[in-house]
Amino acid sequence: MRMRVAVLVLVVYVSLTEAAGCVSTSRPHCYKNSTRTEEDFTCEWDKRNPEKSQTHTLHIWDSENKKILTHKNCCKQAQTNILLEELGVTERKTDIWIQTQVGNLTCNSSKISVILECKVKYSKPQILRMERLAGILNITLDKPKDNKGAKYEIRWRERGSEWQNATFETKDRTKDLYTLHLQYTEIYQIQMRRQAKPHLHLCKDSLHALWSDWSPVVDVPLEISRTPVIRWVENNKANGNRDITLSWDAPPYNESVGGVKYNLTISVWPCKINQKKMDHFTVNQTYNTSITYSEARISIFATNTVGSSPRKQITIPAVKHLSYCDSHMSSNVNTKAMKTCLEWYKLEDGETRPEKVNKSYNTALKDIKVENFVRHYYFLHTVKKKHYQTAVMCPFYSEQRAPINGPANVNISDLTHESAVVSWIAIPVMEQRGFLQHYVIWISGHGNTKVHKVPAHNTSFLIKDLHPATSYTVSIAGRTEAGDGPNSTVNFETHSKEMGTETQLIMAGLHHPDHLCCCPLVYYNLLRSCQETEAVT
């Protein structure tokens, strides 16, 4: 009967205190973050009353010696740190509870009886690395800060399905690794937590086991199987720089889940000493950069949470080679105030950059030793405050000679009684043996010779003021600063004046829409055959 009365009084007391505003907290959880004996403790609990004026006091009671080890006024907080020196011995059983006070009322949480030395709660695991190959997922985890082995629980699922669970243990002072077998075509999610393995025999009781918080849910995509396809567009070229826009496609959805990053490596300084390669990381599918006028190499690979794609490398070719130096290019560049890099190579055909390219950061152009009579090309690059540009680019010869051959396929066309067009194929660069200044054309006939100079980039010339029905000889040679090369010669005879007039009339008639002739030839001696053909048709 007395027991019933005591219980009734307790129930009434609790009801009255709750009604008056005193609601006890959850029972506290006290733990340390590692198995080290010198570690301090953290105690935390849940508040169940939103009343702002409530305060909390943590009590830790030595059950064996019947005394308070510590009590701590925690004010309005729901967590506090306990220093090891405040507790003394932590290998005996202690009772821990929270006293809550609201005004003049107090109430207590449930007590917990624990051995504090056994209460270890690790930080939640961090996945350092994942590698997936089809259905095999290898996971590398961070080690607890005491470098001890731990018990892990892992759960995984296909997106939207039920969780599957497994446990495993790791050893002291070794990497924490785990291999998970998955369906090789599916996307997964995984999550992990861990538990310490205290070595004291007093800690075998499962009540002392504390799991860490769960790690964040991590998406597990498929590995990226394809090499990225990278494209580039040159947007602007000025002042020794080219603005380049790079773009590429994202991997398929099942390889992009969880996010994809792209690693770009751009070579911006060709010289071996102090050679500069800049790595850029981006989550976008475009990237703008600036390169010099010389050849540039750019590589890219994509990375998701389980691995990387194969690396793709592209070469952006140098700008089109000049036939002569651009004297205005270096007018605003003071190379003495900058670091320089000289790049040069043989350019036998005037177009093709060879595989072997010479580079030096301290060589002057006058000190370069190259083959005589062979065209070479050089770039002078500068850098100042991480601004890379091409200061000068030029073709050059160490020594020049006259061309070794004349132009090929010299031909006469559009012949009349007073004019003709001579055309030819330009002398190849490798046969020029120097900078071609111009072509020299000698026209001999009717008892005299006329000389004309034609720009080096031309391959035809209109010869005027000729005499009708006269034989002529045309000779053409290329000229460098060292002199003229061999001649290429062609002979022809102009039409008579009457034939020229008739030809012009025929041409006018043939192009009239009412008098279309089936014959393409317009020479006078074929006029009759054209007329006969028209009569037959």
The tens digit of pLDDT for each residue in 206-262 reads: 566 789 999 999 999 999 999 999 999 999 888 889 999 999 999 999 999 999 999
**pLDDT at residue 530 greater than cutoff 50:** no
DSSP H helices in 396-478: 429-432
Matching CATH topology for 127-220 and 408-493? yes
Q: What is the pLDDT, as a whole number, of residue 524?
A: 40
**pLDDT at residue 302 greater than cutoff 80:** yes
Among 27-41, 339-353, 357-371, 521-535, which is the least confidently predicted range? 521-535
The tens digit of pLDDT for each residue in 449-484 reads: 999 999 999 999 999 999 999 999 999 999 999 999
Q: DSSP readout, 320-384?
A: PPPSS--TTTTTT--GGGSEEEEEEEE-TTSSPPPS--EEESS--GGG----TTS-EEEEEEEEE
DSSP three-state, residue 229:
coil
- pLDDT band of residue 334 (cuts 50, 70, 90) is low
Domain 408-493, classified CATH 2.60.40.10, yes or no = yes
DSSP 533: H
Provide the CATH number for the domain formed by 21-118 in this structure.
2.60.40.10
CATH of 127-220, one of 3.10.450.30, 3.40.30.10, 2.60.40.10, 2.60.40.420: 2.60.40.10
Cβ(473)–Cβ(393) below 8 Å: no
**pLDDT at residue 105 greater than cutoff 80:** yes
Cβ(404)–Cβ(485) below 8 Å: yes
Domain boundaries, the chain: 21-118, 127-220, 238-248+263-301+308-384, 408-493, 501-536
Among 10-24, 89-103, 432-446, which is the least confidently predicted range? 10-24
